[in-house]
Amino acid sequence: DAGITQSPRHKVTETGTPVTLRCHQTENHRYMYWYRQDPGHGLRLIHYSYGVKDTDKGEVSDGYSVSRSKTEDFLLTLESATSSQTSVYFCAISENRQETQYFGPGTRLLVL
């Protein structure tokens, strides 16, 4: 298994509070991704990173920001959580953009 961990694994928070999810990899891969998974939808890309301090938006980026200050860590922040952001969040990594993406174990977020 690719060395990817996510923290926390579960979180319950209230509407309007900030939330930060962390993805950590030990593979030294250049690309890292954040997806959300919701019933009736496939995995949808939120943001991705192609290097330290290099990030770009995915298809559902509104309400989310990301940061990557080290190769191994990619943070996803919900500045002010809303109930529509209740979801399961997956991090993925790939060696470069042409290579297969491998997924972390996921974070289940509930916004009340």
Partner 1 sequence: EDKVVQSPLSLVVHEGDTVTLNCSYEVTNFRSLLWYKQEKKAPTFLFMLTSSGIEKKSGRLSSILDKKELFSILNITATQTGDSAVYLCAVVNSGTYKYIFGTGTRLKVLA
- Under the criterion CB under 8 A, does residue 43 sit at the interface with partner 1? yes
DSSP 83: G
Please state, in angstroms and rounded to a whole number, the distance separating the CA atoms of residues 107 and 79: 17
Task: For residue 98, state whether it binds partner 1 (rule: CB under 8 A).
Answer: yes
Asked if 110 is part of the footprint of partner 1 (rule: CB under 8 A), the reply reads no
Considering beta carbons, is residue 4 or 79 the nearer one to partner 1?
4
- Between 74 and 90, whose beta carbon lies closer to partner 1? 90
Asked if the bond preceding 18 is cis, omega within 30° of 0, the reply is no
CB of 97 to partner 1, least distance (A): 4
Out of 34, 101, 109, 111, the residue judged to bind partner 1 by CB under 8 A:
101
Contact 59, 45 (CB under 8 A): yes
Q: Return the H-helix or E-strand segment holding 69.
A: strand 64-70
